[in-house]
Structure 1
Amino acid sequence: MSAWFAAVAFPLSYDLMPFDRYLTQEGIIHRFTEEQTKGLQVLWLVDPEDVEKVKQLVDLMSDDGPEVFDRLDRSSETSMMNPSGNSGSGISGGRSTPMIDWASYWRDIRQFPVTVSFVSLGILGFFLFKLAQSGTGPILNLLTFHEVIIAQKDLVSVYQDLQNGELWRLFTPVFIHFDFMHVAFNCALFWFLGRKIELIQGSSVLLSLSIVSGVLSNLLQASWYGIAFFGGLSGIVYALVGYIWMWQINHPRSNLCIPLPMIIFLLVFLALGFTPIITLFASAEVANGAHLGGVISGIIFGFIHSRLNRSSSRETNDSNN
């Protein structure tokens, strides 16, 4: 794949999420970055052949304003729901098209590699757990914080396997999921939040945040509850929430934001995990340590990153003045 290049810039006040969805549906590999010092959002492309098409869309916007993005988004959704000619799904033009749009999956893999990888590995961990329920699960046993299939008398410390050099166990429990609701809830939230971060700030930021928060949440869970079988992406999901929360506090005009009711709901759910209420309805114990470790690490990561961004922005402004 060729290198990214800047194609066009928009004012920071523009809501480009409908435009982002439209470009994705059109198969245009892209990403947005924000330049706070200049008050701009920059659209980056990979394929030079997409430039002309993007410029045509920008010309439409110059005539009708940013509201054209909403109309483009709605018209794109309508064309997908009610196909005509040779586009869309179902039977069209005398021939049928596949029920699954494999091209869109490939675009997601190229544009959101970290998000797609974590969601895929989380689903794989769910199937590994289901396979292991029928007997010994040697692969699953390599992913846990400590070996689960082991004589109790042989496991003297929750850190025993780590002390033996198996350091990957600090992170790999995040991929283990115990039931359908567990994996569906975690993967859906990671898909929603991860793509936001990866689109606006890049894959390296999302990967760094996920690894750091995954390790810290697992360590807190193990230290708090001792020898226990735990896992799931929820610790990282809480870190993503904390990170975005801090970012939108320090950069209110940023497109990296989520609705406040969503933040409140997840924080209330976190608090309820420390009461008997959740366990009355859940089939398993809640990993409160992982949730708490995740949100704390995400808040710290987000606070530091967003403040550094503000500081660099002020320094740039001062030097320009």
Structure 2
Amino acid sequence: MFLAYRFLEHQSPEALSKMLWQHKIGHQITFNQGVHELWVVDKAYATEVHRLIAIYEGHAPQEEVVINSSHAKQKNAVLNKNTLYLACKQYPVTLFLIAITLLVSLITQLGTSYASLGWFTITPIIVENNLLYSMPLSSMWDTHAYWRLLTPAFVHFSMMHLVFNLLWVWEIGRKIEKLVGAFVWLIGVLIMAVASNTFQYWDVQSPLFGGLSGVVYGCIGFAWLMPYIDSKWPRLISKGLMMFFLIWLGIGYTDLPSSLGLGNMANTAHLVGLVSGLVCALVYGLLIKRR
């Protein structure tokens, strides 16, 4: 991170911060020695940041601030063509995670097609004479099907569950990926998914569970803890949002979700995912401090 701007006492940082987020520039506003400071994640954005600061201060030429409609339409057309490419370049792991989840949800028909569902559960399931049979966890080790430790994360059993998880993976996961890089984010996703799936199976002794909820809770835990480890890390999770996820975690241990028609929640996966995210934050924080 680098210090890009020190606000005057009468200046409010909200407007500049909003402009930076609109341009997808990771940053953090801190308060130091009586004034606000703007810290930007990557020096590669320095030129764009200085341009936006000039606009914020009112020093930029008017034509840079107000664009005529024809030019705006041309610019939007170019942006629309490049949006997918840029997104794939910036958030490859997050987009792949979303794409494979949508594909698996389609193949399994949201968990209603047991024949295809058995390809992705942590242990194989077999349907014979309208009866459902599951194999022990040892069968996964015996056949070296280690990918089954991961694939339950892609299985969802309702549209609401699918949309909820994908929205949070996109909202928080892509920001984490941009801050830590695709490789580190991939390792984090694998750890969160495998840990939450494994402990959930050990808890219920049944392969009929799934979802990205463990990864979502891992994202929440990681993003919440990092600003406490590194003061320059942007605060992606508010206290209110963290409280919401903790309350929802607690509700999962009650009968309320079932009474609302949401079914049984994979509570252990949620809890282990959260703990995994916190542990990943601690390890990552120690590593970056040693650089």
TM-score range, shorter chain: 0.7 to 0.9
Is 2:136 the partner of 1:144? no
Alignment of 1:71-86 (within 5 A): 84-86=69-71
Give, in whole Å, the separation in 2 of the partners of 1:85 and 1:60: 22
2:23 matched to which residue of 1?
A: 23
- Shift of residue 124, structure 1, vs aligned partner: 1.5
The 3 A distance-change label for structure 1 pair 162 and 282 is farther
2:202 matched to which residue of 1?
A: 223
State whether residues 190 and 237 of structure 1, in contact with CA within 8 Å, keep that contact through their aligned partners in structure 2: yes
Task: Report SS of the residue matched to 1:218.
Answer: helix
- Shift of residue 142, structure 1, vs aligned partner: 1.6
Give the TM-score normalised by structure 1.
0.71
The root-mean-square deviation of aligned C-alpha atoms, in Å, is 3.6
Is 2:42 the partner of 1:43? yes
Alignment-mate amino acid for residue 144 of structure 1: T
1:317 matched to which residue of 2?
A: none
2:62 matched to which residue of 1?
A: none
Give, in whole Å, the separation in 1 of the partners of 2:5 and 2:254: 43
1:61 matched to which residue of 2?
A: 53
Give, in whole Å, the separation in 2 of the partners of 1:102 and 1:285: 42
2:175 to 162, 173, 196: 196
Task: Report SS of the residue matched to 1:149.
Answer: strand
2:31 matched to which residue of 1?
A: none
Give, in whole Å, the separation in 2 of the partners of 1:147 and 1:56: 52
Question: Deviations 1:181-238 (Å, cap 9, x if unpaired)?
Answer: 0110000000011111111111122111100110000000000000231111110110
State whether residues 122 and 149 of structure 2, in contact with CA within 8 Å, keep that contact through their aligned partners in structure 1: yes
- Shift of residue 32, structure 1, vs aligned partner: 5.4
1:28 matched to which residue of 2?
A: none
Give 5+ residue unaligned stretches, structure 2: 7-12, 29-37, 60-64
The 3 A distance-change label for structure 1 pair 57 and 200 is closer
Give, in whole Å, the separation in 2 of the partners of 1:284 and 1:106: 38
State whether residues 115 and 127 of structure 2, in contact with CA within 8 Å, keep that contact through their aligned partners in structure 1: no
Alignment of 1:1-321 (within 5 A): 9-11=2-4, 18-23=18-23, 41-43=40-42, 45=44, 55=47, 58-59=50-51, 61-62=53-54, 64-65=56-57, 84-88=69-73, 101-130=80-109, 133=112, 137-138=115-116, 140-151=117-128, 155=134, 157-310=136-289, 312=290
- Shift of residue 44, structure 1, vs aligned partner: 5.3
State whether residues 105 and 111 of structure 2, in contact with CA within 8 Å, keep that contact through their aligned partners in structure 1: no
State whether residues 221 and 277 of structure 2, in contact with CA within 8 Å, keep that contact through their aligned partners in structure 1: yes
Give, in whole Å, the separation in 1 of the partners of 2:49 and 2:222: 32
Question: Deviations 1:110-150 (Å, cap 9, x if unpaired)?
Answer: 111011111111122221221773x5534x32211111234
- Shift of residue 9, structure 1, vs aligned partner: 4.6
Give, in whole Å, the separation in 1 of the partners of 2:17 and 2:55: 19
- Shift of residue 87, structure 1, vs aligned partner: 3.2
2:35 matched to which residue of 1?
A: none
The 3 A distance-change label for structure 1 pair 153 and 130 is closer
State whether residues 20 and 49 of structure 2, in contact with CA within 8 Å, keep that contact through their aligned partners in structure 1: no
The 3 A distance-change label for structure 1 pair 114 and 222 is same
Question: Deviations 1:228-279 (Å, cap 9, x if unpaired)?
Answer: 3111111011011111122122224421531111111011111111111222
Give, in whole Å, the separation in 2 of the partners of 1:218 and 1:84: 51
Higher mean Cα deviation, 202-211 or 243-252? 243-252
Question: Deviations 1:137-176 (Å, cap 9, x if unpaired)?
Answer: 34x3221111123457964524422332111000011111
Give, in whole Å, the separation in 2 of the partners of 1:275 and 1:64: 50
The 3 A distance-change label for structure 1 pair 294 and 17 is farther
Give, in whole Å, the separation in 2 of the partners of 1:12 and 1:125: 46
| Count of residues in correspondence between the two structures | 268
- Shift of residue 12, structure 1, vs aligned partner: 8.4
Give the TM-score normalised by structure 2.
0.77
Q: Identity of counterpart residues, as a percentage? A: 24
Give 5+ residue unaligned stretches, structure 1: 1-7, 25-30, 46-50, 69-74, 90-96, 314-321
- Shift of residue 86, structure 1, vs aligned partner: 5.0
Give, in whole Å, the separation in 2 of the partners of 1:259 and 1:208: 25
State whether residues 111 and 156 of structure 2, in contact with CA within 8 Å, keep that contact through their aligned partners in structure 1: no
State whether residues 110 and 155 of structure 2, in contact with CA within 8 Å, keep that contact through their aligned partners in structure 1: no
